[in-house]
Structure 1
Amino acid sequence: MKVFKKLVLLVLVFVTFKANAQTDKATTTKIVEEKNYVFVATSATPLNSADINKIMSRMPGNMNGGNINLSGSSYDVRVVKDSVIAYLPYYGRSYSASMNPDEQGYKFTSTDFIYDSKKNKRGWNINIKTKDVRDNVQMNLSISQGGYATLSVVSNNKQSITYNGYLSEVKK
């Protein structure tokens, strides 16, 4: 009976894990090769988490700034053949911050960029270098075959930041 319970539990865990996958292997391959996908951010990890922890610990609720949960928000990066559209928050040190709240974070549309994609055993490594964005933003996107992804963003005026999330198809 114990073996049966363990087997049922193992199958349940496996089914739950597969149900949480965002895209299947074929869909992920199709949308990445067509350059037509959305990276949906679920968490952010700033480079200088020690400094952010100092600030966050003074706030009500005594939060931790090491890994910031973005689930339920609409932060994403859309990649289509002729443009990259980013709408991501930024947590960290900015060397020349804008006073305009609409220009904080990574909020831009780039139509002049270099897109380099390399397939490996585990998925894809994609490098995007913008040419027409003010801070010369560079994005490194590591995508697994199941659609999970990690995005590292580097710019001239801000410390780097990493976002975790998943890929989805562009909705029309």
Structure 2
Amino acid sequence: MKKIIYILIVLVLPVSFLKAQEVKKSKKELRIEKQEKRKQEVKEILFEKAFVFTPTHAMPLGGGSIQLNYTFDAEIKGDTLVSYLPFYGVAYHVDYGARTGGFDFTQPIENFELEEDEKGYVVKLEVKNKMDLLSFTFHISELGYATLNVTSTNRQAISYYGTIEADKE
């Protein structure tokens, strides 16, 4: 009986060890798979026009980088832009009695362009907010890292750095 148990252990142990080696993937292979999945996700959310840009830094035209918390965002929901972004810089014209200092509005998108380039994607859109015409230009990498440049008729230009994610809704 001891011989049979010994033979079974000798036969089963190497087979199970070989199976474990087949299933285990290297860290590099896992990272590549994760990146490919992320690239596909970014492409899908851009073409669906349903994504949220979360800035981590703001770069005003005349100053240094300002680190932001995660409460700010710009959300594209089909043909609507929901913006809650801070503004640092010079405002040339502000509505009388305005309570908001940043880009805090929900407006329909007037023009929307999506282009692919060698580094990722470029999304351009325009929005009218009261007396202000705003141009939002996103430069998005394949992995979802993004730069947002906002130009306005009534304020200095400003840039934001952050990431994009799928719209939660």
Q: TM-score range by the shorter chain?
A: 0.7 to 0.9
Paired residues for 1:1-172 under 5 Å: 24-49=38-63, 66-70=64-68, 72-98=69-95, 100=97, 102-172=99-169
**Structure 1 residues 73 and 102: CA distance shift in structure 2, 3 A:** farther
Q: CA deviation at 1:98?
A: 4.3
Q: CA deviation at 1:100?
A: 4.2
Task: Write the letter of the residue equivalent to 2:83.
Answer: A
Q: Deviations over 1:86-117 (max 9, x none)?
A: 10000011112346463210011111411011
Task: Write the letter of the residue equivalent to 2:46.
Answer: V
Is the Cα contact below 8 Å between 1:90 and 1:105 reproduced in 2? yes
Q: CA deviation at 1:134?
A: 3.0
Aligned pair count reads 140
Task: Write the letter of the residue equivalent to 2:45.
Answer: I
Q: CA deviation at 1:45?
A: 0.4
1:33 is paired with a residue of what secondary structure? helix
Is the Cα contact below 8 Å between 2:75 and 2:81 reproduced in 1? yes
Scaled by the length of structure 1, the TM-score of the pair is: 0.73
Query: 1: distance between equivalents of 2:94 and 2:78?
Result: 30
Query: 2: distance between equivalents of 1:99 and 1:119?
Result: 41
TM superposition outliers: structure 1 runs of 4+ over 2 Å? 97-103, 131-134
**Structure 1 residues 131 and 99: CA distance shift in structure 2, 3 A:** closer
Query: 1: distance between equivalents of 2:129 and 2:87?
Result: 20
Task: Write the letter of the residue equivalent to 2:66.
Answer: I
Query: 1: distance between equivalents of 2:126 and 2:104?
Result: 15
Query: 1: distance between equivalents of 2:56 and 2:96?
Result: 27
Is the Cα contact below 8 Å between 1:36 and 1:169 reproduced in 2? yes
Structure of larger gyration radius? 2
Mark the runs of 5 or more structure 1 residues left unpaired by the alignment. 1-10, 50-65
Identity across aligned pairs (percent)? Answer: 30
**Structure 1 residues 148 and 86: CA distance shift in structure 2, 3 A:** same
Q: Deviations over 1:102-159 (max 9, x none)?
A: 3210011111411011111211111111135431011110000000000000001110
Task: Write the letter of the residue equivalent to 1:169.
Answer: A
1:146 is paired with a residue of what secondary structure? coil
Scaled by the length of structure 2, the TM-score of the pair is: 0.75
Which protein has the bigger strand share? 2
**Structure 1 residues 113 and 98: CA distance shift in structure 2, 3 A:** same
